[in-house]
């Protein structure tokens, strides 16, 4: 019996969502149990490595193939900055980069998702409180010196995937002027959708547009048969002698350069 395409797409979306939800809870529960047997100083890096492996599985469930372009630095305190396109961003980026994410503090209070965020070691920031921001900077530096790269989305919100917004400078305060630190610029974007070269319209469907309900955004990419994404890694930018504003400007320019050839299409 053959079902019409709209029915097949809907079935695909719900089947993937169910498998993804199950895998997400299972992998988080395993991490919550296993991390207890790690020395306290080794837990941040252990979480990041486990997250990387789990996100590779999540991408396969969702029909996403991720291709890394460029080499990752092997050592050093590092802040990773990337463009922010949609709900898929964390899983795509974490499938190739062992990182701890920085996210708004409200996520820590969400049912189920708050538990997941705390278990994987997300660093929370309360953007409207100065003292909390100072605490956030301290936590970022602690994680980086423990050997974990911290990833932030300095655009502050999701964009259309066709341009790079101005970078907010707050996250760069953690590494501004650091003698042994660096900022790693990263750009990611869909290059093929359902086996065809991704058009601007299809990149919009993969992302989460301002004012769009979260469920609508998720349903759009859950119905796609396959998505191929490039994660382009740039040259690390040394932080010594550079303040947060200069680092933000340089990083945005580097991410724009990495996006060349994709966002103009």
Q: Is residue 265 part of a domain?
A: no
DSSP letter for each residue of 38-104: S-GGGHHHHHHHHHHHHHHHHHHHTTEEEEEESPPP-SSEEEEEE---STTHHHHHHTTS-EEEEEE
Q: Considering Cα of 111, then 215, then 126, then 102, what sign does the dihedral take?
A: positive
246: domain CATH number is 3.40.1130
pLDDT in tens, 47-99: 999 999 999 999 999 999 999 999 988 777 789 999 998 899 999 999 999 99
Q: Please give the model's pTM, rounded to 2 decimal places.
A: 0.90
**Based on the structure, what is the number of domains in the chain?**
1
For residue 131, what pLDDT is reported? Answer: 45
Q: By CB neighbour count within 10 A (0-12 exposed, 13-18 middle, 19+ buried), where does 120 fall?
A: buried
Residues spanned by the domain of 123: 5-259
* Paired strand residues for 190: 229
For residue 2, what pLDDT is reported? Answer: 64
Q: Is residue 264 part of a domain?
A: no
Mean pLDDT throughout 162-177?
A: 86
Q: Is residue 80 part of a domain?
A: yes
Q: Is residue 53 part of a domain?
A: yes
Mean pLDDT throughout 190-204?
A: 91
For residue 139, what pLDDT is reported? Answer: 81
CA dihedral defined by 10, 15, 21, 23, rounded to 10 degrees?
A: -150
Closest CA to 186 of 48, 69, 55: 69
Q: Is residue 28 part of a domain?
A: yes
| Statement: residue 128 has pLDDT above 80 | no
pLDDT band at residue 159 under the 50/70/90 scheme = confident
């Amino acid at each position: 019996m053959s079902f019409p395409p709209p029915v097949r797409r809907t079935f695909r979306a719900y089947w993937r969502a169910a498998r993804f939800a199950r895998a997400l809870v299972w992998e988080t529960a395993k991490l919550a149990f296993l991390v207890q047997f790690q020395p306290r100083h080794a837990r941040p890096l252990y979480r990041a490595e486990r997250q990387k492996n789990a996100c590779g599985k999540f991408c396969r469930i969702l029909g996403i193939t991720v291709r890394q372009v460029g080499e990752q630095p092997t050592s050093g305190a590092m802040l990773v900055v990337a463009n922010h396109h949609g709900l898929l961003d964390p899983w795509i980026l974490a499938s190739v980069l062992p990182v701890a994410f920085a996210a708004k503090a409200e996520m820590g209070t969400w049912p189920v998702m708050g538990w997941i965020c705390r278990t994987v070691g997300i660093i929370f920031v309360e953007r409207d409180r100065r003292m909390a921001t100072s605490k956030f900077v301290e936590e970022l530096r602690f994680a980086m010196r423990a050997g974990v790269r911290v990833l932030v989305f300095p655009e502050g919100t999701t964009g259309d995937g066709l341009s790079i917004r101005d970078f907010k400078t707050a996250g760069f305060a953690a590494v501004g002027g650091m003698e042994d630190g660096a900022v790693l610029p990263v750009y990611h974007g869909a290059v093929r959708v359902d086996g065809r070269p991704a058009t601007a319209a299809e990149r919009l469907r993969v992302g989460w547009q301002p004012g769009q309900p979260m469920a609508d955004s998720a349903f759009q990419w859950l119905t796609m048969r396959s998505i191929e994404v490039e994660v382009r890694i740039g040259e690390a930018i040394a932080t010594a002698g550079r303040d947060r504003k200069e680092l933000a400007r340089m990083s945005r320019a580097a991410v724009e350069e990495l996006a060349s050839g994709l966002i103009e299409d």
